[in-house]
Amino acid sequence: MALPVTSVLWKDYVDDRAVQESDFEVSASDIDPANLQDGEVLVELLYLSVDPYLRGRMRRMKSYYFIGPFESGKPLASGGIGLVKASKAAGFAAGDVVSGMLPWSSLAVLDQAAQGMLQKLEPSLLGTAPLSYFLGTLGMPGMTAWASIKKIAEPIKQGEVAFVSGAAGAVGLVAGQLLKNEYGCRVIGSAGSDDKVALLKQLGFDEAFNYKSVDTAAALKAAAPDGIDIYFDNVGGPTLETVLDQARSHARIVACGMISQYDLPDEQKYGVKNLFNLITKRIKLEGFIVSDYMAELGAAFGATMAEHVQQGKVKALEHTTEGIENAGKAFVEMMAGGNTGKAVVKVAAEDPF
């Protein structure tokens, strides 16, 4: 018997403005599991991740991006957690919980190429944390914060001053809490609302400010009069320029993201004017893509972060939107700062675990 499927399709490139809900199209179709072919897997989507990097797949790419653009008229895809409903492929069986790149469809038939972007979630992990955490603190964003601090900011001395921008988001919250509770830094965070600032202080950030209502340069000068040792950069643009001016000698800058620039056409992107600071202050500024670290650090990350969460060193926060049909809305809201913690979409009505 054919089963109903709801998908969210990408319409067309958006190069010079914020993406809107009308850039996505919700479509209805069906899948008959009896038609599953050899080598295919039928996966029900349980949770979906909406992430800033998807913005890069929604535009014409003039310069290198680490993954290609979305195809017009096809479902988008992003990190997800799914349940295998039926399988005619080696390595997957009905009842397996999988994580990886999944189409924005409530139910999908995945061929072998798509299966290459999926992993089975270790059965011993089921029940240890809400499944959606594996898209956030215990998944890609958590790994992003943990591994990049290790690889780029270490060695870190107790008491060093760390600044995290985008601090109330998925990556920023983990980065700030790790720098505070694991490394003993004095941590400053910036975020885009007073509620987020209050939350950062509750979580133990030493200082926090709303970059929309105060001047970043003045706020940083007040919070760190002797300068910044570590900058975890989620936003780029003028904030990066300010930090370069206020960095101390031998500062380390983890160039994680530049979300302040993602909606701008290339010719309007901010040109940081004071890179000479890199030389005079011997600053290390290093970019990365989280997948660079997976082979070396993936397993250690899973065990370490689970322990941090259990011990309360890292609190996992989420912003949940219900329903696959609202995935586009969830993305738009996340890009506009509507989320505190990891933005996820709960797709299946019932979490089977």
- Give phi and psi for 343, each to the nearest 5: -80, 115
**Contact with ligand NDP (CB under 6 A) among 53, 125, 269, 315:** 53
Gyration radius of the chain's alpha carbons: 21
Nearer to ligand NDP, 196 or 252 (CB): 196
Label the pairing between strands 186-191 and 207-210: parallel
DSSP labels for 210-237? Answer: ETTTS-HHHHHHHH-TT-EEEEEESS-H
- Report the nearest approach of ligand NDP to the CB of residue 274 (Å): 19
Q: Is there binding between residue 171 and ligand NDP (CB under 6 A)?
A: yes
User: Is 347 in a helix, a strand, or coil?
Assistant: coil
DSSP labels for 254-315? Answer: EE---GGGTTS-GGGS-----THHHHHTT-EEEE--GGGGHHHHHHHHHHHHHHHHHTTSS-
Q: Which residues on adjacent β-strands are paired with residue 24?
A: 10
- The whole-angstrom separation of Cα 106 and Cα 28 is 10
315 alpha carbon, distance to own chain's centre: 16
Q: Is there binding between residue 189 and ligand NDP (CB under 6 A)?
A: no
Please choose, out of 3-11, 46-54, 83-91, 213-221, the segment that lies near ligand NDP by the rule CB under 6 A: 46-54
Which residues, numbered 54-113, are part of the site for ligand NDP (CB under 6 A)? none
Q: Is there binding between residue 139 and ligand NDP (CB under 6 A)?
A: no
Q: Is there binding between residue 51 and ligand NDP (CB under 6 A)?
A: yes
- Report the nearest approach of ligand NDP to the CB of residue 257 (Å): 2
Nearer to ligand NDP, 13 or 288 (CB): 288
Q: What residues have CB less than 8 Å from 263, skipping those under 6 apart? A: 16, 17, 18, 19, 55, 335
Using the structure block, give the residue that is written with the tokens 């008959």.
Answer: 32
Nearer to ligand NDP, 10 or 209 (CB): 209
Q: In which region does residue 81 sit, left (phi positive, over 0), alpha (psi from -120 to 50) or beta (all else)?
A: beta
Nearer to ligand NDP, 9 or 290 (CB): 290
Q: Is there binding between residue 332 and ligand NDP (CB under 6 A)?
A: no
**Contact with ligand NDP (CB under 6 A) among 80, 100, 169, 189:** 169
Q: Which residues on adjacent β-strands are paired with residue 9?
A: 25, 75
Nearer to ligand NDP, 193 or 320 (CB): 193
Which residues, numbered 230-259, are part of the site for ligand NDP (CB under 6 A)? 234-235, 256-259
Nearer to ligand NDP, 67 or 86 (CB): 67
Q: Is there binding between residue 191 and ligand NDP (CB under 6 A)?
A: yes
Nearer to ligand NDP, 191 or 324 (CB): 191
- Report the nearest approach of ligand NDP to the CB of residue 208 (Å): 11
User: Is 192 in a helix, a strand, or coil?
Assistant: coil
- The whole-angstrom separation of Cα 217 and Cα 226 is 13
Nearer to ligand NDP, 69 or 85 (CB): 69
C-alpha neighbours within 13 Å on the C-beta side of residue 117:
15
Is the Cα torsion angle 196, 200, 201, 202 positive or negative in sign? positive
- Report the nearest approach of ligand NDP to the CB of residue 52 (Å): 4
Q: Is there binding between residue 178 and ligand NDP (CB under 6 A)?
A: no
Nearer to ligand NDP, 107 or 145 (CB): 145
**Contact with ligand NDP (CB under 6 A) among 105, 137, 144, 246:** 144
Please choose, out of 84-92, 274-282, 295-303, 336-344, the segment that lies near ligand NDP by the rule CB under 6 A: 336-344
- Report the nearest approach of ligand NDP to the CB of residue 196 (Å): 6
Query: Footprint of ligand NDP on this chain (CB under 6 A)?
Result: 51-53, 141, 144, 166, 168-172, 191-193, 196, 234-235, 256-260, 288-290, 334-335, 337, 339, 343
